Structure 1
Amino acid sequence: MKKLLLLLCLSLLPAGVFAEPPPVFDVDREFYPYYPSLIKYEKSGAEFTPPEVCAECHAKQYEEWTGSIHALAFKDPVYQGELNLAVQAVGHEISRQCEGCHSPAGVVTGEIKGPGLKGLSPMALAGVSCDVCHSIVGTTHWQTPTHEPQNGSFIIRPGVDTPEGPQLRKMGPVAVSDDCGMGFHECDQSSLHLQADLCAGCHQVYHYDKHFPLEATYLEWKHGAYAQKTILCQDCHMVDLETFKRVADEFKKPERHEYRHYFNGANYLLYYLAAGAATKAGDEALAANIMKKYEMAVGRLQSAADLEVTPVYNNGQLGEVKVRVKNIRAGHNLPTSLTNIRQLWLEITATDEKGQVIMTSGAVDDNGQLPENTRLFNSDGMGDDFHFAVDPWVITAFSRHDTIPPKGHKEVYYGINAGTSPVVKLDVKLRYRQADQKVAEKLLANVPEDIDLNATYGLTEVPPLPVVDLVAKQVSFQTRE
């Protein structure tokens, strides 16, 4: 009876009583004047400070930052090739989304107007420099179209206007001392610099229009074991390799003196290119600096994962092998970032007692390509038409998302037919490279005209992309249980 009365009352309501549903992703373009970059700029007479000026008082931190991924973020030729293709495909508006994180100061000052390096100031070319991070005063993560961190959703303010003139003010995590800034700038203690939210805005990349998360590194961390244990981005990426491994294993924060401005991650390819450029320019000290970061990046990758290989017997006969791939130290998914571009895969070769190959999968061919049966741990993108897509300005969803969460694992089974051999030997590798060979060739072939790959990097063609073996194991199993 009550249900009948309710239906009767609803039928008597006037037409149009229900409001139109709001858009799923509401964009306030007045609030975000640099959209699709979501930077907020609190402008004053205080200008940004180039990192070379910071080096005069902070030489150690400058040396650590020099040659880092943050320092190379805007000059990265792979990034510039991607940016150039995006502008050609969609227009300049898309480039602001990328530039807002790769050179925030260059965007908010209006200096950067598209791909390329020509005519830009040292401050714009410095990418994610000292003054970028230490001028962040807040975030707007709740106000974004998805109400999540994305596309540079931070507030940046290099200083303030005072009756005496512009005053530089820098944010940092430690208590302010009397001599902080030594008269050049004022200091403010910032709790934000002790939170992962500081990093979140640029390590969450969403589609410029459809707001799909192309990269979700922050959310992978937030929804994983490390966030539960209060181990932050800074605790793993602002320390050396051995400290990183200890933090990941013990869930114990670094000591204050152990933090560094390396910002080291898995992008060994950029270090490799930058070290080559420094060598070609005759700057051996810089090349050595960058190669140390390259070795640290490779070491991180080789510390991040592990493999377990076990036999599976059916009616007493070896029928399969199970390979468990474990993410043992990465605080986010493995791989992370542009997971539709990154390639993490298993290469496996099985031989019988005579050394004859009876099964193989995942071997890179002479053209740098992986066979179709390769077991990849990454993502496949698709566009609005639900067809496969690789370009970030096209991808609005994943048709497959197969990455490994923090402290998690994925399992792969391989069928084995050993014939009459009493034993099977297995060579199993977990391998990583930052892109498919053809993708890398496409991006580097489309760098802006003012970037000369031969003059800067000594590249006349794209070499085979370096592959890092995260884990390699050799095991043997009896074919009869």
Structure 2
Amino acid sequence: MFCKPVKLLPKLLPVFFSAVGLLSSGCVIYPELVEKGMYAPKSERCGDCHKDIYNEWKNSPHARSFTNAEFKEETNTYQFTFCLGCHVPETIFTDKKIEPRSENLAEGVHCNSCHLNDCKLSGPTPAHGPHPIHEKNQFFRTSEMCGKCHIGTFLAWQKSDTIEEKKTCQDCHMPSIKRKLIQDDPWQKIYPKREGKQHLFSSQTLFDTHNTLLTMSFIKVIQCNGRIEGILELENTGTPHGIPTGDYGYREVVLTIELQDEAGRVEDLKKESFFVEMKTALQYREKRCIPFYFHYDGDSYAIKATIHRISFHKDTDILLAEVKYTS
């Protein structure tokens, strides 16, 4: 059972010691990875080594922050330039206004936007690499980092009650995972697995895995004289900012209450939308009662309530919560 590892050992040792030697000598093999302007690297160059993180990022909202149809339309095809700093940032590590970069705009918020700091790449864990790199930076573990662009949401998070060990933005929107930071040879040979974060930046995963962030319950349902009426109670139990949240753009959350007959067919429904701009977002720890009534003469029925985050063109949505009442 030990034959195979022993045979592989002579092949792996030279690779291992070669990589260790390069790093210990302070050799920088890829200085171009911290370039700016016309020589700035694309994120796929980072993906040569950080394969898993790159694949997560390229399907994330950050990667589409510049190219998505909603942003293009609401900025009049990028004419509102004050938005560009956060949608195509050169780097968030600045005490001044975040400036947009001039290259690789289609990549939106890309790797160097968040990891390039003073001509070196940095992250929340200690590391050695074949490119200029800082020591670990605890700023990456704080909500203040996300608040560099998501200002309104960060301020709401700050105001939410100070429960012990309150979750950060990263705790909710970047699920934890244990893996190697690098998946490319020879570098992966010298890196152990460690606790890290997935680069998804998605609310979909968040609500799929946490069923206590937003709760709904029917607290009163009565059928009388061909009429069904009741109250649906909503509570933002675990999201330490408003639902929906954000500073600009289209953010709509839609509550739908459906009356279904005994065969599951929808007989009637009620919809209600929540918007930040109209001050109807459901704030942290807020409870809200939504009355409803339907005309119905049947004996058996069900009432289903769902809450969805709706996209600008109504072509995608995220299910945030659902509940069903059966007579």
Quickly name the TM-score band, shorter chain normalised.
0.5 to 0.7
Q: Determine which of 69, 83, 107 is the counterpart of 1:77.
A: 69
What one-letter code is carried by the residue in structure 1 that aligns with 2:90? Answer: A
* Counterpart position of 2:218: 309
Distance 2:100 2:257 in 1: 52
- Would you say the 8 A contact 1:429–1:469 is kept in 2? yes
Count of paired positions: 269
Provide closer, same or farther for how the CA distance between residues 418 and 83 of structure 1 changes in structure 2, counting only shifts above 3 A: closer
- The answer to whether 1:224 aligns with 2:183 is no
Q: Secondary structure at the match of 1:64?
A: helix
CA contact (8 A) 1:432 1:469 kept: yes
Alignment match of 1:133 (pick from 97, 107, 114): 114
Aligned to 1:475: 325
| Aligned: 1:193 with 2:140 | yes
Q: 1:431 aligns with which of 304, 308, 311?
A: 308
Evaluate the alpha carbon distance shift between residue 361 and residue 55 of structure 1 in structure 2; reply closer, same or farther with a 3 A threshold: closer
Q: CA deviation at 1:350?
A: 3.6
For the 8 Å contact 2:270–2:292, the answer to whether it is kept is no
Cα 1:431–1:85 change in 2 (3 A) is same
In structure 2, the CA distance between the partners of 1:65 and 1:110, relative to structure 1 (3 Å rule), is closer
CA distance in structure 2 between the partners assigned to 1:352 and 1:265 by the alignment: 32
Does 1:335 pair with 2:240? no
Matching residue's letter, 2:273: L
1:377 counterpart = 2:274: yes
Return 5+ residue gaps in structure 2 as ranges. Answer: 1-33, 92-97, 178-192
Number of the residue aligned with 1:235: 171
Shift of 1:80: 1.6
Distance in structure 2 (CA, Å) of the matches to 1:343 and 1:354: 31
Cα distance in 2, alignment partners of residues 227 and 85 from structure 1 = 42
* Deviations 1:178-225 (CA, angstroms, capped at 9, x unpaired): xx122x213232221121111102112xxxxxxxxxxx2112222225
Q: 1:52 to 1:408 in 2, by over 3 A?
A: same
Matched letter for residue 231 of structure 2:
K
CA distance in 1, matches of 2:89, 2:140: 17
Structure 1 equivalent of residue 42 of structure 2: 50
Q: Is the 8 A contact 1:217 1:337 kept in 2?
A: yes
Whether the 8 Å contact between 2:89 and 2:101 is mirrored in structure 1 is no
1:312–1:339 CA distance, 2 compared to 1 (3 A)? farther
Q: Deviations over 1:117-142 (max 9, x none)?
A: xxxx43x3322111111124xxxxxx
Q: Find the partner of 1:264 among 199, 202, 221.
A: 202
Match status 1:349 vs 2:297: no
- Equivalent residue, structure 1, for 2:129: 181
**Distance in 1 between residues matched to 2:200 and 2:269, nearest whole Å:** 39
Amino acid at match of 2:244: P
1:11-40 C-alpha deviation (Å, 9 max, x unpaired): xxxxxxxxxxxxxxxxxxxxxxxxxxxxxx
**How big is the shift at 1:331?**
3.8
| CA positional deviation for 1:98 | 1.0
- Greater Cα shift, 326-335 or 228-237: 326-335
Partner of 1:458: none
Are the counterparts in 1 of residues 88 and 100 from structure 2 also a CA contact under 8 Å? Answer: no
Alignment root-mean-square deviation, CA = 3.9
Percent of residue pairs bearing the same amino acid type: 21
Per-residue displacement from partner, 1:383-434 (whole Å, max 9, x unpaired)? xxxxxxxxxxxxxxxxx31112335432111245667x66664233323312
Aligned to 2:284: 406
CA offset at residue 466 of structure 1? 3.2
Secondary structure (helix, strand or coil) at the match of 1:202 reads coil
Measure, in 1, the Cα distance between the counterparts of 2:267 and 2:56.
49
Q: Which secondary structure state, in structure 2, belongs to the residue aligned with residue 189 of structure 1?
A: coil
Distance 1:467 1:125 in 2: 23
Q: 1:7-46 maps to which residues of 2 (within 5 A)?
A: none
1:322 match? 231
SS in structure 2 of the partner of residue 201 of structure 1: coil
CA contact (8 A) 1:426 1:474 kept: yes
**Mapped partners of 1:406, 1:225: distance in 2:** 9
3-state DSSP class of the match of 1:410? strand
- How big is the shift at 1:338? 5.4
Q: Which amino acid aligns with 2:113?
A: V
Which residue identity does 1:99 align to in structure 2? L
